[in-house]
Structures are given as structure tokens and as C-alpha cells.
């Protein structure tokens, strides 16, 4: 016998199961799809919980809103991408995928796993992580006793930090923007209004702030809409409030 006259680019498709085998096959198919959707929803929920609030427990109360948006918009897109990618992969491999029918429905699970990994790497409450996330700068080396809080509102992310610092390092907090100094008690108290929402995580220093350095981005360019830096007379206790 010689070589076959026609060479198949793809492997022959196995015959479809019938009877009870078909019912079991369909059941397995449905369970895999459900599991994929559950992983996607959990990933989006965890991602929203971390993004919405510094406190994960509090973030869970706000996360369902963002999760619904992510699921409504992201789930169909991820499935469509699965159907688009499948023939590309098969073309590169020059054969059909073994479980090609279910493959596109696994894309949401992959997206959910990526979201969970992103949560694991983004849940950083260290001074360096938080300074980079909100202030886009490195924290001075002397920062200690660091506490942070943030919450996400529609179109806004409000945040507040409190920490101790070497007075010699205080000016390093002011070199990235042009700040206006305020010493009026009313202006200082009004600027600290966001701290009252973070009282469970942040309290005011024992020695109250006597100066506020205010930056306001009136043109709405860059990462900060406003940024206020408060300090006491010794310049060793700092509170920062801002809006990104």
C-alpha cells in the first residue's frame, strides 16, 4: 500500500456519544461552563473588592456593583475572544484541539484566574506600594507607623494616609507639585474632612496639624485632582488626603 491520495490537515473527529453517554457528556459540558463562569465572577468580585476599598471587608459591600458591570460587559467579550482564538490556535497547531467545543467557554475562567492573580499582587498596603499607587512617588526612607485608607466613588478615588517621618524628610513630600501653604484652623479642619470617613483605620495625630499644604489640579490633568499634606509643629506627624 502506498501513501493515501488525500492527506488530512486535521485529525478525524471521534463519533459523538449517544444515549446515556450523550446525557453524561452534556452534563459534563454544562458543569465545566458553570465552573468557568463561577471562576470569572469570583475573579471580578475579588478585583472589585480590592479596588473599591482599602478594607477588604468594607470593599465587599461595594464590589457587587462593579462586579455586575464587569460580568455584563466582560463575560460576552471573553467568550467571543475564545471563539476567535480557537481557530487561530488550531491553525498554528495544524490540528483540531481535543476538546474544541468547550475551549471558548474556558476563556472566562482564564480571565478570572488572571484577575485573582492580579489581586494577589495588588493587595499591597506597604508605604512603597501605596505611595506608588496614589502619589506616584517613592516614600521617604524614614516613613514609619504607616496607616492608609481609600474608597472608590463613581469617577473618583478618595484616600487618606497617616504616618511618622523624620522632620528632615518632610520637604521631600512637597517637591513634586506646587503647594499653597495654609495655617488657618478652619481651612485645616475642612481639608481633613476625609479623615472622618476613615476613622476606623486612621485617627488624627495626638498633636493636631497646624499647617496644610494644598495642591489643586484645576485643569484636571495628571493623576491628582487635589492633594493636601498636613503636619504638626514638629513636622514629624503627617496626614495626607487626596482625590485621584
Which pLDDT band holds residue 190 (cuts at 50, 70, 90)? confident
Q: How far is CA 70 from the centre of its chain?
A: 12
Q: What is the pLDDT of residue 160?
A: 85
Instruction: Report the predicted TM-score, pTM, of the whole model to 2 decimal places.
Output: 0.62
What is the pLDDT, as a whole number, of residue 59?
A: 52
- 163/149 Cα distance (integer angstroms): 12
What number is the average pLDDT over the span 185-192?
A: 85
Q: What is the mean pLDDT of residues 232-243?
A: 90
Hey, where are the domains in the chain?
A: 20-122, 127-243
Residues across the chain: 244
Q: Which pLDDT does position 52 carry in this prediction? A: 66
Q: Which of 154, 182, 169, 168 is nearest to 241 (CA)?
A: 182
* Span 83-100, pLDDT tens digits: 999 999 889 988 888 888
Amino acid at each position: 500500500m502506498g501513501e493515501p491520495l488525500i492527506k488530512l490537515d486535521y485529525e478525524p473527529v471521534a463519533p459523538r456519544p449517544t444515549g446515556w453517554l450523550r446525557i453524561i457528556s452534556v452534563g459534563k459540558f454544562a458543569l465545566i461552563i458553570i465552573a468557568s463562569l463561577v471562576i470569572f465572577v469570583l475573579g471580578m468580585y475579588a478585583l472589585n473588592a480590592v479596588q473599591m476599598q482599602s478594607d477588604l471587608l468594607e470593599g465587599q459591600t461595594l464590589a457587587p456593583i462593579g462586579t455586575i458591570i464587569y460580568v455584563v460587559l466582560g463575560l460576552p467579550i471573553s467568550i467571543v475572544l475564545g471563539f476567535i482564538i480557537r481557530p487561530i490556535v488550531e491553525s498554528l497547531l495544524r490540528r483540531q484541539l481535543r476538546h474544541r467545543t468547550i475551549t471558548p467557554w474556558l476563556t472566562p475562567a482564564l480571565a478570572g484566574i488572571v484577575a485573582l492573580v492580579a489581586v494577589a499582587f495588588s493587595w499591597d498596603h506597604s508605604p512603597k506600594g501605596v505611595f506608588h499607587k496614589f502619589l506616584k512617588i517613592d516614600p521617604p526612607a524614614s516613613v514609619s507607623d504607616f496607616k492608609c485608607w481609600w474608597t472608590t466613588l463613581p469617577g473618583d478615588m478618595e484616600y487618606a494616609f497617616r504616618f511618622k517621618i523624620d522632620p528632615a524628610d518632610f520637604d521631600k513630600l512637597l517637591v513634586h507639585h506646587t503647594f499653597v501653604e495654609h495655617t488657618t484652623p478652619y481651612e485645616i479642619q475642612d481639608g481633613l474632612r476625609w479623615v472622618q470617613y476613615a476613622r476606623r483605620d486612621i485617627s488624627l495625630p495626638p498633636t493636631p496639624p497646624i499647617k496644610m499644604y494644598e495642591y489643586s489640579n484645576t485643569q484636571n490633568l495628571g493623576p491628582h485632582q487635589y492633594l493636601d499634606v498636613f503636619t504638626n509643629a514638629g513636622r514629624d506627624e503627617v496626614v495626607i488626603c487626596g482625590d485621584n
